Amino acid sequence: MKFIDEAKIEVIAGDGGNGVASFCREKFRPFGGPDGGDGGKGGSIWAEADRNINTLVDFRYSKLHKAKDGENGRGSDCYGKGADDITLRMPVGTLITDINSGEVIADLTEHGQTVLLAKGGEGGWGNIHFKTSTNRAPRQKTDGKPGERRELRLELKLLADVGLLGMPNAGKSTFITAVSNAKPKIADYPFTTLHPNLGVVRVSHEKSFVIADIPGLIEGAAEGAGLGHQFLRHLQRTRLLLHIVDLAPFDEAVDPVKEAKAIVKELKKYDESLFDKPRWLVLNKLDVVPEDERKKRVKDFIKRFGWKGPVFEISALTREGCEELIIAIYEHLAEQRQQEQRAEETQMAEEARGIVSIDPDDPRFKMID
């Protein structure tokens, strides 16, 4: 499988160098005093988001990342050299979690974003730091501190505005090919798509959005059937889900309504927040349905499925209805962004004025009779 979206690694920062207890032994300086230098700092390990990297394949085969230790101090007031830091470049959209504690260390959502994974140990002190008026020949020194050591889980969640959802062979790959620059594999058998695909949809020269296609779900995915829930994480960052349904399956015994309900059921099993995302119904492959039967078949499907949200009728193969759908998607995304921007501006204005929201049920604000 070309697309690697999960990996486990171990990062070990370098230890700090030890301080040294040393005394000056130069000629004509019989009482030169202490001159032991400090140890150098151990190397730290950082993560940096890079939009030029698409998968975590480098970390699937390179699991251990260790920085060098700092050098020990030396006499003649010489300090040990600090070790260089290591920077691990990861795809934008990577979620980094500590395996042992379960703590989310970072969510790399922007290009160039950096985060400290393991801090290098501080260097120890030499005996020059312990010289006092009453202790002119100190022999104390301290050892360097050990660097941090962590076991991390890396999960890549694609950053897309729109996610495609549907059974295998519903026409998701054909749709993303028709509306974007993505070129996924297309064939007349199930599970043609084995890894997620990203495509940029251009509404105009300056207007665009990103769409993600994941392998199809089947009933029982929660129990490991098909490709299971392996790739559903890539839909968690999307703003809108398109539930694509094959309205004219090759096998006449297949019921599109039953398949659509199975998809919704599996989505809810996986994540309630994903289930609650805005979701549009896209009825595909209308080119296979005779024109005089289309309205009846669409109406029957919507009624049996119990759908009350937005519905779009398309043919991804002939691109019929695709342009209207793309424009509607862009307008929906633009409205969402405006609402989020207004909410953010309102919050910033309230913080600037020092406004604090008060809960009327808080007992501290009850009126005293």
Binding region for GTP: 166-173, 191-195, 213-216, 284-287, 315-317
Structural contact between residues 158 and 35, judged by C-beta atoms closer than 8 angstroms: no
Q: How many residues belong to the chain?
A: 369
Contacts of 275 (CB under 8 A, 6+ apart): 264, 267, 268
Could you tell me which of 228, 40, 218 has the C-alpha nearest to residue 144? 40
Binding residues: 166-173, 191-195, 213-216, 284-287, 315-317
> 71 is written with which tokens?
């050098």
Token pair in block for residue 299: 């109406």
Q: What is the DSSP-derived secondary structure letter of residue 240?
A: E
Q: Measured between alpha carbons, how far is residue 55 from residues 3, 59, 210 in Å?
A: 6, 9, 17
Rounded to the nearest 5°, which phi and psi values hold at 337?
Answer: -65, -40
Cβ neighbour number for residue 302 with a 10 Å cutoff: 16
Distant-in-sequence, close-in-space partners of 149: CB < 8 Å, separation ≥ 6: 10, 11, 12, 13, 118
SS3 assignment, position 31: coil
DSSP-assigned letters across all residues of 94-154:
EEEEETTT--EEEEE-STT-EEEEEPPPPPPPPGGGG--SS-SS-----PPPPPPEEEEEE
**Residues placed in the known binding site for Mg(2+):** 173, 193
β strands within the chain, DSSP E: 6-12, 45-50, 64-66, 86-91, 94-98, 104-108, 114-118, 149-156, 162-165, 197-202, 208-213, 240-246, 279-284, 311-313
First to last CA, the chain: 71
**Interaxial angle between packed helices 291-305 and 256-270, expressed in degrees from 0 to 180 and rounded to the nearest 10:** 40
Selection from 264, 218, 222 nearest residue 241 by Cα: 264
